[in-house]
Structure formats: C-alpha cells, structure tokens
Amino acid sequence: MTDGHERYLQEVLISEERLRQRIAELGKEITTDYQGCPGLVLVCVLKGGILFLADLMRHIQVPHGIDFLAVSSYGVGARQSQGEVRIMMDLSSQISGQHVLIIEDIIDSGHTLRYVMEVLQARRPASLKLCALLNKVSRRRVNIQVDYTGFEIEDRFVFGYGLDLDERYRNLPFVGVADLSQSGDA
C-alpha cells in the first residue's frame, strides 16, 4: 500500500541514510560544544522540526531539556511566507539563564527565525544558538547566523522528514523535491 506521495515526488534530495549520518555528526558537534554546560534546552519549532529533534536529541550526549514553540507565517497551501509571523504556541518553561538551542527544519528567507530569535533573546537566555536541518542560503532576506547546519540546499520546494506538502507527507523518511505541478490537490 502506498501513501500517495509518489505522484508529487520529483526526486529524493536527501536519503534516509544520509539524514541519519549527518544528524549523528551534528549531535557529536553539539555534544562537544556544550560539554560541561549546565541548563541546555532544545527548543523545537513545530511542526516541521519534530522528527529532526527526536533523532538529533538521541545523539546529544549532554544533559538537556526540550520545549516547543509553534509559529505561523505560511498557512495551508502557501508556498512562500506570508510575511506576518505569529506565535501559535509558546514555550512551557522559562529560559532565562539557560543555554538555548533552537531546532528548526528549514530556514528560507530568515524572517520567521529572526522573529523567533528576537522573542527568545528578550527572555535573557545564557546563550541562544540555531540548528537547522536545511538551509536555503540563496533565499535569505535577513541576516541569520546558523550555528549548526545539516544541509545547504538550493531553492527548491522540499517535503518529507517533517516538512509537509499541504500538511501531508511529514512521515517520509527522506527529504524529497516536490513536483509542484502535481500538488494543487495534495
């Protein structure tokens, strides 16, 4: 039985195996950088970052907590940010004095992440860094420092491994390029 993603899949951009390898490498880098650092909190930006967080945190070998933040700037069916960023769900814990690492699925223009970082920085964490699975540098409109990058990708619409195509196919174990000519009724 198939879930129907095949008709929208132009190509597999990043395989399941390559994702596993790179996430393990990121976990080691983060472990090294935060060794001996008390109060690390991984803040996952929902919904897309959830699979990345779940796999990444298994490779981070320093004590850490997790929290979640949901923001919206796209809307169902939108292929580009609509500009206005809204917090749909805020953190459940205080981050003042904590070392915070934002876990994001993809950075495009940077507008959403700049807003998120400004909101979190105002809460006075001990440090604030960013880890993104995918980074579309060519689409950047605002300056964002990405401290940990899984993969830099070209300006292509991708889905799978947490990234959706009209709120579907987040469960795919790979990152694929969408054939947008087929996605009108996804």
Residue in 90, 108, 166, 179 annotated catalytic: 108
The per-residue pLDDT for 2 is 55
**Structure-block tokens of residue 9:** 């899949």
Predicted local distance difference test score (pLDDT) of residue 182: 62
Question: Shortest CA distance to 37 belongs to which of 145, 149, 127?
Answer: 127
Q: What is the CATH number of the domain that holds 87?
A: 3.40.50.2020
How many domains does the structure of the chain reveal? 1
pLDDT score at 83? 62
Range of the domain at 13: 5-31+38-74+81-185
Mean pLDDT by 10 residues, the chain (186 residues): 73 96 98 92 94 97 95 59 76 94 93 92 96 93 93 94 91 92 57
Determine the pLDDT at residue 139. Answer: 84
Helices (H), 77-148: 111-121
Pairing of the two strands 148-152 and 158-159:
unpaired
The predicted pLDDT at position 104 comes to: 96
What is residue 76's predicted lDDT score, i.e. its pLDDT?
A: 47
Q: Cα separation of 87 and 165, whole Å?
A: 21
The pLDDT score that the predictor gives to residue 1 is 40
d(CA 183, CA 165): 8
108 flagged as catalytic: yes
pLDDT value at residue 169? 92
Give the per-residue pLDDT at 84: 77
pTM of the prediction? 0.88
